[in-house]
Amino acid sequence: MSLYSNIAETPQDAAAFLESLTLFAGLDQDQLSEVAGRMKRRSFAPGVTLYHQDMPGMMLYMIEEGSVRVYSIGRTGQELTLAIFGGGDIFGELSILDSQHHSATAVTLAATVVWLLPRTDLKDLMERYPVIAEAMIQLLVARVRSTTHHVEAMTFQDVQGRLAYELLNLAERHGCQTGDTIVIDIPLTQGDLATIVGATRESINKAMSALRSQNLVQIDGTQVTLLNPAGLRNMVHERGR
């Protein structure tokens, strides 16, 4: 796959994909077809920046497959991962709704296929179909709740507790469960985890070693498997959240 490619053909099940997204779930088939006609489908290789922090927001992004990391960069160059999105997730909405620049950078973690909806089309659709506007409000509420929980974990937990919390969160959103174990279906390096937890790589390595020694997690390259999710939840609860 090239760094960027235009997928010219629109899949026959495009409406079915859009219907699977909460943003458009309230539309009928004709309306879904109209939305699909306004969108472009693109594929990206791993490591491609979709937009930079402080760039104007021009598109709403919808992931068909793959994963995207959204992060902010401080003045010292330190990164903080704000979210990792996967198949079925929507992002880039804030800069469209308030007409401001992006507050973070988005980069693909794996080969990714996304649908792009221009800002002017999204605003037009929200005016014409109130059900989309209502779904957007619900999306923003979910974002606020997720941010609140993340801040609580960052405040009340030590590094090991924060790592356990974030691994559970990633497993809930991107996990594939087999029996009692859950594989996080996105590639994660120690550096990625450090930017998610808000810690140094050294402290993440130490915390991860502690979780492995307790048979709570297993690491195979960039793949993380939760061997005992219940044990991780107990650890988070005992450490303050």
User: What pLDDT score does 1 carry?
Assistant: 37
The mean pLDDT of the chain is 90
User: What pLDDT score does 70 carry?
Assistant: 95
Average the pLDDT over 208-226 and give the result: 94
User: What pLDDT score does 113 carry?
Assistant: 95
User: What pLDDT score does 4 carry?
Assistant: 53
Q: What percent of the chain has pLDDT over 70?
A: 94
2 pLDDT exceeds 50? no
Q: 137-178: per-residue pLDDT in tens?
A: 999 999 999 888 888 877 888 999 999 999 999 999 999 998
What's this model's pTM, rounded to 2 decimal places? 0.86
Q: 98-149: per-residue pLDDT in tens?
A: 888 999 999 999 999 999 999 999 999 999 999 999 999 999 999 999 888 8
User: What pLDDT score does 207 carry?
Assistant: 95
59 pLDDT exceeds 90? yes
Average the pLDDT over 174-199 and give the result: 91
214 pLDDT exceeds 90? yes
User: What pLDDT score does 241 carry?
Assistant: 52
Average the pLDDT over 2-28 and give the result: 73
User: What pLDDT score does 8 carry?
Assistant: 44
What string of DSSP letters covers the chain? --SEEE--SPPTTHHHHHHHSTTTTTS-HHHHHHHHHH-EEEEE-TT-EEE-TTSBP-EEEEEEES-EEEEEE-TTS-EEEEEEE-TT-EE-HHHHHS--B-SSEEEESSSEEEEEEEHHHHHHHHHH-HHHHHHHHHHHHHHHHHHHHHHHHHHH--HHHHHHHHHHHHHHHHEEEETTEEEE-S---HHHHHHHHTS-HHHHHHHHHHHHHTTSEEEETTEEEES-HHHHHHHHHHTT-
